[in-house]
Amino acid sequence: MNILITGGTGYIGSHTAVELIKSGYEVTIVDDLSNSSADVVDRIEKITGTRPSFYMCDVKSPDAMRAVFSHKKIDGVIHFAAFKAVGESCRLPIKYYSNNIAGTINLLSVMNEFGCKQIVFSSSATVYGVQKTNPYTEDMSLMAVNPYGTTKLVIEDILRDLYANDREWRIAILRYFNPIGAHESGLIGEKANGIPNNLMPYLCLVAKGKLKQLSVFGNDYPTRDGTGVRDYIHVVDLAKGHVKALGYLEKHGGCEAVNLGTGRGYSVLELIRAFEKENGIKIPYRITERRPGDLAEYYADPSKALRLYGWKAELGLSDMVRSSWKFTSQND
């Protein structure tokens, strides 16, 4: 089977490409390289021994996407292509609605035109908004509290409507919690352009001496050490979840939303201490005020993924912080 990965040179997309190739799939990547680099294709080939097909194009372009589908028979799609910075989405909501939602609508239209009706969608735990209890389960009410989350929720609704109208579609909606870590080779990992928005790449740049210190936003939350608690999941485990989701769709079809998380939360300070212990590097940090909209604690109930896909996270926090530092220390 030939699987198209949109955003396939990005952080999660590149790791998923590796796991798909290892599982025997043919991989075709589409990416506009707005937040990644073409050399990731070379790195995927170095890891797997197989070079994925690569097209530099924008999923919002009907002609570009038709050209890809015309050139290669695509059996299924994993859709990662999206802007993903929560803070930026609050400043530039139209940019996010235009790219994330319009891009997905165009992709689905071209897929339908070419009779390709199998898709795994990269959603997010942000669709749960603010919940009163943990862990988060897939049957909880959904609400978005920022434009980025709104784009994910709108796309989920589009996919559910699409399936309700045409049961030939096979759809997996995967709600990620907090992916960190990198491939064990150190060749691919999370590398943002400019100052990172996410905790782990920022922490790694502090460890490398490129940033002075880490800001910890609030230490007065009702958690075990006062700092925010998140469900951190190794990106390789996450990538394997996509392979499992594809396998499920091939046999069962349907349209299901599924959490991908570990079911355990770690605080910001616990993450810092784990990094220091595993890598032998002291991380300077300072406590600052809470950021608006940040939650005290959330983590997944991943039991549905185990029940449907036979998937569960296998790598621990030490693996996450060790591989993150290996990638950062080996790459400029």
Q: What is the CATH number of the domain that holds 18?
A: 3.40.50.720
CB 252, CB 303: distance < 8 Å: no
Measured CA to CA, the distance from residue 98 to residue 33 in angstroms comes to 17
pLDDT at position 295? 87
pLDDT at position 196? 83
The tokens describing 56, both together, are: 């530099």
DSSP-based three-state secondary structure for 311: coil
Measured CA to CA, the distance from residue 37 to residue 55 in angstroms comes to 12
Note the maximum CA span of the chain: 55
CA distances from 77 to 2, 16, 155, 193, 199 (A): 9, 12, 15, 26, 29
The tokens describing 77, both together, are: 């799609």
The pLDDT > 70 percentage for the chain reads 99
In this structure, is residue 303 part of a structural domain?
A: no
In this structure, is residue 209 part of a structural domain?
A: no
CA angle 179, 185, 189 (to 5 degrees): 35
Mean pLDDT of the chain: 96
Average pLDDT on 214-239 reads: 97
CB 24, CB 68: distance < 8 Å: no
pLDDT digit string, tens, across residues 100-113: 999 999 999 999 99
Q: How far from each other are the two terminal CA atoms of the chain, in whole angstroms?
A: 35
pLDDT at position 292? 77
pLDDT band at 221 (very low <50, low <70, confident <90, very high): very high
Measured CA to CA, the distance from residue 192 to residue 313 in angstroms comes to 25
Strand order across the beta sheet in which 2-6 lies: 53-56, 26-31, 2-6, 76-79, 118-124, 170-176, 254-260
Tally of domains within the chain: 1
pLDDT digit string, tens, across residues 4-28: 999 999 999 999 999 999 999 999 9
In this structure, is residue 121 part of a structural domain?
A: yes
In this structure, is residue 215 part of a structural domain?
A: no
The tokens describing 86, both together, are: 């929560």
Judge whether residue 192 has pLDDT over 70: no
In this structure, is residue 244 part of a structural domain?
A: yes
In this structure, is residue 42 part of a structural domain?
A: yes
pLDDT at position 332? 78
In this structure, is residue 324 part of a structural domain?
A: no
The pLDDT > 90 percentage for the chain reads 92
pLDDT digit string, tens, across residues 50-97: 999 999 999 999 999 999 999 989 999 999 999 998 888 999 999 999
pLDDT digit string, tens, across residues 140-188: 999 998 999 999 999 999 999 999 999 999 999 999 999 999 999 999 9
Judge whether residue 330 has pLDDT over 70: yes
Strand extents, DSSP E, the chain: 2-6, 26-31, 53-56, 76-79, 118-124, 170-176, 178-180, 214-217, 229-230, 232-234, 254-260, 266-267, 285-288, 297-298
Query: Which range, of 33-47, 183-197, 217-231, 258-272, averages the lowest pLDDT?
Result: 183-197
Nearest alpha carbon to residue 25 among 306, 314, 240: 240
pTM recorded for the entire structure: 0.97
In this structure, is residue 311 part of a structural domain?
A: no
Q: Which residues belong to the active site?
A: 148
CB 311, CB 234: distance < 8 Å: no
Domain extent at residue 99: 2-181+231-262
The tokens describing 102, both together, are: 């319009």
Measured CA to CA, the distance from residue 128 to residue 137 in angstroms comes to 9
Nearest alpha carbon to residue 314 among 263, 275, 253: 263
CB 321, CB 279: distance < 8 Å: yes
Average pLDDT on 280-307 reads: 94
